[in-house]
Chains A and B, each alone.
Chain A
Amino acid sequence: MTQLIIIGIYLLLLLGLGLLASRLFRGTSKDYMLASHSIGPFLLLMSLFGTTMTAFALVGSTGEAFKEGIGVYGMLASSSGIIHSLCFFVLGVKLWSLGRRYGYTTQIQYFRDRLESDRIGLLLFPILVGLVIPYLLIGVMASGTVINGVTEGAFTDTFAAHDYGIPKWLGSLVICGVVLVYVFFGGMRGTAWANTFQTIVFMILGVVTFFVISSKLGGLEAASQAVLEKHPSKLMRTITPKERETYQTSLKKWQAKAVAAYSAKNGLKRDLTAEEKQKALIAQDDRVAAAGVKLFDSNGKALSLSAFPKSNAWPKKAFDKFGSKVGHPNELLVPGDPTKGKKWTRKKALGVYKAKSWAPDEPHTLSKLKFLTYLLVPLSVGMFPHLFQHWLTARSASSFKLAVVAHPIFIMIVWVPCVLVGVWATSAVIDGRPLIASHFPPNAVLVKMVKDMTGPLLGGFLTAGILAAIMSSLDSQFLCIGTMFTNDIVVHYGGKDRFSERQKVLLARGFIVAIVAVTYGFSLLEPRRVFTLGVWCFSGFSSMFPLIFASLYWRRLTKAGAYASILAAIVSWVVLFWQSKFGLNPHYDVLGMMPVATMVASSTAALVLVSLVTRPPSEKALRRVFGPPGG
């Protein structure tokens, strides 16, 4: 309950901050959407950093490090330190200057002018909003998971189906509500203030979490040494022969168990055929092979289990097996006998079932080519609509300097502890038992570490820090989609003078609520790995990086070239996302490379080829971007 109270107080503080910012609101839509270009270097740094570091950075990086090891830092953190600042430097400052001169608030307004195409907005608007939705989803999903995980056992009778904690759906709903309120009242100024406050909170608490957890694990050295002994592969990017051998041994044991269970169930006392054996493995891993589905490839080799979807019946099987142990996590499993431990949560029952029944997790080597092509993923910041809007809030071009320099260092301060905590989680032991079993949901690793290794008071503060990181991205994304709808659709097509300033703000708020409702609906569906979903979302934005870059630095870019580039980007994104089973396969690649490489190559090729064979843009349009200031 202590954690719940602290989280509640923190959320109230945020609401207060939004209301305070609203007292400075000047009543105009420009003030609501761009804080009247009043944001100085420090606020700009904190709001840009807070916006780019979302659930992806804290919850996602810890979970991914738990699954894949330290390589995750190079894949996205150190590369982002180089690429993000590069985007701020080569795109942000220039777009800010154009925005100030020509009154742009959104990317679409800029592209309409640069490409002399009104309809480019109709193509870009649904794509940008469509790509922001999965980004929002990351935050909404993660907030529910975090709140539910940390409040387990907070209630005595209610929410039994949610381990006596706040249900995920309610946690996500509350977070959406709080962010909506402070965005509504505070607009961009409230968002920048809240981002700054929350960034400070999550950076400080992140470092505190790191030291508290390391101390509980016996110190920095002991925590890392345990990993070196048990899972050395997590400390590098290949698999050691010993770990591969361990995996093969456990896989063989598991296969024997699957075959025995299948034989017993079907009354077979002979050796199984290859088909029966494959069916046995599918059943043991709680997967389904629909009638008529091939179990073997064209060479007669058994298909990987990941080719078959998980059955929906496995949670029931888990509760049939371990249901008698499930109850309030503060009650003893055997009354009067504390040595037997406390009752299990439903999550624990599911986790133990998975660890005992499902195939062991196969360790993965990180491919060098995949690592190289990961460099393209952070290019997404060049096309994030919410970052474009943040860039335009800057008071002056030199306000960007601090953000350009400090961004990589801030990333390091946040990501290094998260990655280490994720890696330590693979080998952490409490009371002689592993803290986290195999198949543990990666999104919940950080929360589990915080909950099990800190007291209620500190746990509450640390949770507030995690939520701060999540909300500091949600707010900017909420605001930007409202801004885009108002400026690019309503005002653009309805006429500049048709709506009062108050009506414009109301329209922005209405659209925000609609999009948040849609995103919230999606969050109630089956969750994906935060990291995987994030990479897909970022890849979509990265695939449009060639367009924004060429629009600023290549005079020969034409309207047709831009259309071709956007279509190539989005078609390749949709096809590859579909092939990855809508993000369910976290190891999906294209010729050994990240899918983003194919997307960027397609959009660049379409942009260059079509631009070269179509009519160049007019001098007037080019003068706006390439001419001297005021020209």
Chain B
Amino acid sequence: MKFVVCGLVVLLLVIHQDNWFWDNSHLVFGFMPIGLLYHAGISLAAGATWFLATKFAWPTDLEVSASDDAQGGDSA
């Protein structure tokens, strides 16, 4: 599933370059420029992709317990 999530992120980056709507001024629903609607859709698709990432590709090994706190560094 991790590979599917990676694939979806790559797909988002590819379809972000929407050459097909470059010179299209059509207004969807009478007010929404199609190029803007398409990219708003990309934002929603990104949210969905990241949701899948948190479900299936979350790095659980990085969780830190209180006992692991601050073993070094020169933090104030």
Binding site for B on A (CB under 8 A): 29-30, 33, 37, 70-71, 73-74, 77-79, 81-82, 85-86, 89, 93-94, 96-97, 100-105, 109, 113, 219-221, 223-225, 228, 232-233, 235-238, 240, 368, 371-372, 375, 396-398, 401, 404-409, 411-412, 416, 419-420, 423, 486-487, 491-492, 496, 501, 504, 628-630
Contacts and interface: CB of A to CB of B under 8 A. Distances in A.
A102 B71 CA distance: 5
A16 to B, nearest CB: 28
Nearest to A233: B25
A37 to B, nearest CB: 8
A628 B64 CA distance: 11
Contacts of A77: 39, 43
Interface of B: 9, 12-13, 16-19, 21-25, 27, 30-33, 35-36, 39-40, 42-44, 46-47, 50-51, 53-54, 58-64, 68-76
A268 to B, nearest CB: 44
A421 B39 CA distance: 17
Given A236-B24, A396-B63, A487-B74, A89 B16 contact: no
A408 B12 CA distance: 12
A220 B31 contact: yes
Given A70-B35, A79-B16, A491-B76, A102 B43 contact: no
A29 B16 contact: no
B30 A404 contact: no
A221 B31 contact: yes
23 contacts: A70-B36, A73-B40, A81-B43, A81-B46, A82-B12, A94-B62, A97-B64, A102-B70, A102-B71, A102-B73, A113-B73, A224-B27, A224-B31, A224-B32, A233-B25, A235-B27, A236-B24, A371-B17, A398-B63, A404-B53, A420-B36, A423-B33, A630-B68
Given A74-B39, A412-B44, A420-B36, A105 B23 contact: no
Contacts of B74: 103, 109, 487, 491-492, 496
A583 to B, nearest CB: 26
Contacts of A404: 50, 53-54
A71 B25 CA distance: 11
A486 B35 CA distance: 47
Contacts of A491: 74, 76
Given A96-B62, A237-B22, A398-B58, 18 more contacts: A30-B75, A77-B43, A81-B46, A81-B47, A100-B70, A221-B27, A233-B25, A235-B33, A235-B36, A371-B17, A372-B17, A401-B58, A404-B54, A405-B51, A407-B47, A412-B44, A487-B76, A492-B74
Given A235-B33, A368-B22, A397 B64 contact: yes
B59 A93 contact: yes
Contact of A33 (B44, B51, B58, B76): B76
